[in-house]
Amino acid sequence: MDGTTDQNDGLLNGVFGTIESARLWCLGDGCTANAWLQVAVPQGSRIEIDVVGWTQLGLANRTVRFDGEVEPVAYFGLGDASEFDVLWVYLPDGGSMKLSGTVQARRRITVH
């Protein structure tokens, strides 16, 4: 796979192909009954999210390819949880940010 597209619906979509062949787009068209979260952060950030007693870890790295690049976004599947408790972003420069309280899932969060 050499890239993903994003429709902000919680589904990852893929673009497959090589320089010599035609591109094949694989777009997700369902399966969004479960909750999800996308976190767009600075390159190289680490994200931790606490949801109903369990923690997920995500790393955000920019993907560079011959026809462009994909922004650093971490994707989390939250199952049937409609909200999450705490989101930590650990920045590459050593700083960190915390988002806490009851935050609704099924959205994209952007950290600058």
Measured between alpha carbons, how far is 73 from 47 in angstroms, rounded to an integer?
10
Q: Which residues of the chain have pLDDT under 50?
A: 1-5
Measured between alpha carbons, how far is 39 from 17 in angstroms, rounded to an integer?
27
Phi–psi pair at 59, nearest 5 degrees: -120, 135
Residue ranges covered by each domain of the chain: 33-110
Measured between alpha carbons, how far is 59 from 75 in angstroms, rounded to an integer?
9
At residue 12, the pLDDT reads 59
**Type of residue found at 19:** I
pTM reported for the whole predicted model = 0.71
What single-letter DSSP state applies at residue 81? -
Phi–psi pair at 85, nearest 5 degrees: -95, -50
At residue 102, the pLDDT reads 79
At residue 103, the pLDDT reads 82
